[in-house]
Amino acid sequence: MAKESPAQRDVMERVMQEYKEGELATSTGRKVTNRDQAIAIGLREAGESNTQSPKEKKSALRHTERRERKGETARQRDEGGGETKLELYERARKRHIPGRSKMSKEQLRNALGID
């Protein structure tokens, strides 16, 4: 068995924590209640599943890291990561806020008056 990378370990820890807190859901939106299913989801997201080719493993880990950066994990949504930068930008565009294209996510939140 190959040794897991720190990134893969972090993904597994996050997925199992979401499972313990009851936040982990399948792709269809149903809550995961089976520990084995949570482990399978974690392995798949971390790119450690034995059913994936090396190329698929690398792609899966990149995809998961991208989701985490965007704040699209269950934990980030519940902790108030809230809307993504793109969603905040769209709201700012509708309100015609000047300089929105150069603003960071936090600056967009401030310009929109979101605490």
Q: Is 103 within 8 Å of 92 (Cβ atoms)? A: yes
Verify that 66 and 108 share a domain, yes or no: no
Verify that 92 and 47 share a domain, yes or no: no
pLDDT at 25: 85
pLDDT band at residue 35 under the 50/70/90 scheme:
very high
Verify that 70 and 113 share a domain, yes or no: no
Has residue 104 got a pLDDT over 80?
yes
Block residue for tokens 């890291």: 65
Verify that 20 and 75 share a domain, yes or no: yes
Has residue 113 got a pLDDT over 80?
yes
Domain carrying residue 114:
83-115
In a domain, 1, yes or no: no
Q: Which tens digit of pLDDT belongs to each residue from 55-94?
A: 998 898 888 888 888 777 766 666 665 677 888 899 999 9
In a domain, 54, yes or no: yes
